[in-house]
Amino acid sequence: MSFLRPGDTCWRKARAARAAFLVDTEAYFTAVFEALRKARRSVTLLGWGFDPRARLFPDGFDGPADPDEVGRILVALARARPDLEIRLLIWKSALPIAASQQFFPHKARAWFRGTGVQFVLDDHVPFGACHHQKVLVIDDALAFCGGGDISVDRWDTAGHLEHDPRRIMPDQHHHAPRHEVMMMVDGEAAQALGDLARERWRRATGQVLPVPESVPPEDPWPAHIPAHLQDIDISIQRTEPEWDGRPGVTEIRKLMIASVLEARSTVYLENQYFTSPLVAEAIAKRLSEPDGPEVVLISTGQSPSWFDQLTMDRARSNMLWRLRAADVFGRFRAWYPTTPAGTKIIVHSKVTVIDDSLARIGSANINNRSGGFDTEVEIAVEAGTETQELCIAALRDRLVGHFLGHTGDAVAKARKERGGLIPAIDALNREGRLSPILPMKQTPLGEIIATYHLGDPYNVTDSWKATRRRDLLYNEPRRRRFMPR
């Protein structure tokens, strides 16, 4: 049975002639640079954040007027090609969040004023919610979707070096190692993401954008990136809050729970957060089964911001207690990655791989708000052939291996020899680069925050009603109404 059901667990499916997985931001930024050079009709970016000073090719020195700054590249592109429509639609972040980013993206309005780049800050969300989608569409012929924004503290390589001078920011500080994953698609799948971006633009500005001509004069696919999958259906899943006269959309949450409940052998999760009681309960159900799947969670050891430490980390701790109690057969592990010297790597990716069958990459965290309060999008591929299964398995093994300092082939070999992903990781983790995430001892304040999921609304109706949220998430008869059948 297919995991991907349009109108239920996904919005729609569309064909891609090529699809590629971009592991870490060096790969993403390089692909963006190559694709922008070939853009002829339209460039549309949706983002949670954006900083025009972000460098696509950092070299360890940050000086004035760096030519690889994405803002300068876009302005030069608009000047060289007046017929090219360049539109950036970025969430108008709350002032405390903007202050933590030197008031970007707000300052970007001045950066692009008087240029051919149309820059719009979008605040059409319920109070307290955010636009969290990360999508770049070029000529409706190529599209990127995943967890990464184009900002000054995002760039890193898959090596996640302890000290990398290229991770320099405009204030001359160096940001921590960071893990991101994006997916790149072409064909009808890119056009479908273009439709999503145009609808977001219409809601934010009232302007209805035309669909670009179907065949661009030049193939925008970056020549240096091989296609990992060919001739495959891509699904698109969304989260949209019930707001402004529009019904809520919860396709991402439905697919997450349905795929966990239907997994046969392995559930692999990479995510910034893990606070959803509904997802935790679905996993707990599978862990209680004698022949259920292995479940591996890779997340950040400690959130970088004090607010997330206060809210998300404490709620995650309760989820871990629940899963440790349910794990009677020893099939659950939660790890955080570090450099060889022990520095925690920020895991910002949002990846789910189910068995060798389904790979999902997008913007949604495994928390309450990404399932019904914020605006999210992800894309997925489901294997229909043995070759596609091998490709999805290779993605998972590559991701696991890069945290351990091993190749994906080494992980695949260890899986076969040891009989599963968890024993393979145990065997290859000789340097201790993956450390267990342990439940934390809660303070009285922390227990209140975690119990009521403060800062993590389930949907618009409970955003200011924490007692209703707790009742909805933990009252078994009510919770069943929100679980997929």
Q: How far apart are CA 326 and CA 72, in angstroms?
A: 53
**How many angstroms separate the Cα of 235 from the Cα of each of 227, 254, 358, 460?**
17, 14, 11, 26
- pLDDT of the residue at 478: 52
Say which residue, 466 or 291, is predicted with more confidence.
291
- pLDDT of the residue at 479: 56
For residue 203, pLDDT over 90 is answered with yes
Torsion from C-alpha of 148, 153, 158, 163, nearest 10 degrees: -170
Q: Which residues pair with 13 in a beta bridge?
A: 235
Query: CATH topology of 12-231 equal to that of 238-482?
Result: yes
Q: List all residues 6 or more positions away from 419 whose beta carbon is below 8 Å from its beta carbon.
A: none
For residue 169, pLDDT over 60 is answered with yes
Condensed to tens digits (0 to 9), the pLDDT of residues 103-115 reads 778 888 999 999 9
- pLDDT of the residue at 465: 86
Which architecture characterizes domain 238-482 according to CATH? 2-Layer Sandwich (3.30)
Are 412 and 397 in contact, with CB atoms under 8 Å apart? Answer: yes
pLDDT mean over 34-62? 93
For residue 66, pLDDT over 80 is answered with no
For residue 99, pLDDT over 80 is answered with no
pLDDT mean over 469-473? 82
For residue 232, pLDDT over 90 is answered with yes
- pLDDT of the residue at 429: 98
Percent of the chain with pLDDT over 70: 96
Among the four given CATH numbers 3.30.870.10, 3.40.50.2300, 3.30.450.20, 3.50.50.60, the one describing domain 12-231: 3.30.870.10
For residue 216, pLDDT over 60 is answered with yes
Confidence band of 485 (pLDDT split at 50, 70, 90): very low
Joined together, the tokens standing for residue 388 give 């596609």
- pLDDT of the residue at 469: 85
Lowest mean pLDDT, pick from 3-12, 210-219, 286-295, 410-419 = 210-219
Confidence band of 386 (pLDDT split at 50, 70, 90): very high
**How many angstroms separate the Cα of 128 from the Cα of each of 88, 180, 374?**
22, 25, 9
Mean pLDDT score across all residues of the chain: 94
Lowest mean pLDDT, pick from 10-14, 42-46, 257-261, 477-481 = 477-481
Condensed to tens digits (0 to 9), the pLDDT of residues 394-443 reads 999 999 999 999 999 999 999 999 999 999 999 999 999 999 999 988 88
**DSSP 3-state assignment of 68?**
coil
Q: How far apart are CA 182 and CA 135, in angstroms?
A: 9
- pLDDT of the residue at 473: 85
- Residue bearing tokens 């931001």: 25
Condensed to tens digits (0 to 9), the pLDDT of residues 347-358 reads 999 999 999 999
- pLDDT of the residue at 212: 83
Q: Where are the domains of the chain?
A: 12-231, 238-482
Q: How far apart are CA 313 and CA 367, in angstroms?
A: 11
For residue 282, pLDDT over 70 is answered with yes
Query: Which of 363, 343, 327 is closest to 145 using CA atoms?
Result: 363
